[in-house]
Structure 1
């Protein structure tokens, strides 16, 4: 039981690092797309406020929530693997 707890703890730490990196990467890509969109259209207002408003919209988007799958999918796979190995 202690080995399982240790494995889950280390797995959670690794998944947290992956989540943070993926989140920063996704936000940087979105920022780049917003900046390119503003450059192409020379939109109203200044560039920084346009990007800030776009990133606030991104924070509530489905894509941002889907990144949480980094936790759900591996933990579910490990749980199913342990269940089927021991009880099926």
Structure 2
């Protein structure tokens, strides 16, 4: 029983790790595109890549970036709640 649960958690962690990296890369590329579009439409002065890099540094500290870590927390919470409900209710 314990081996099965450990196997489930390890497999779930690997899947969540892959999902996290894909989601993180996708979100960062979307943000990069928005920053480039903002520079093209509004600013048009100075170095475009410096503007984009500065915006991505701000993005790295943003709440959205931290919320992506929920990919790890939410599934384990759901699995834990399901195990509790099935066994103790």
Per the shorter chain, which TM-score range?
over 0.9
Structure 1 residue runs of 4 or more that deviate by more than 4 Å after TM superposition: none
Residue deviations 1:28-87, cap 9 Å, x none? 000000000000023431100000000000000000000011111111000000111112
Q: What residue number does 1:19 align with?
A: 20
Gaps of 5+ in 1: none
For residues 1-88 of structure 1, the aligned pairs below 5 Å read 1-88=2-89
User: CA-atom RMSD, angstroms?
Assistant: 0.8
Alignment partners' CA distance in 2, 1:14 and 1:64:
19
TM-score (norm 1): 0.96
TM-score w.r.t. the length of structure 2 is 0.95
**Which has the larger displacement, 41-50 or 51-60?**
41-50
**How many residue pairs align between the two structures?**
88
CA distance in 1, matches of 2:37, 2:25: 18
5+ residue gaps, structure 2? none
SS at match of 2:46: coil
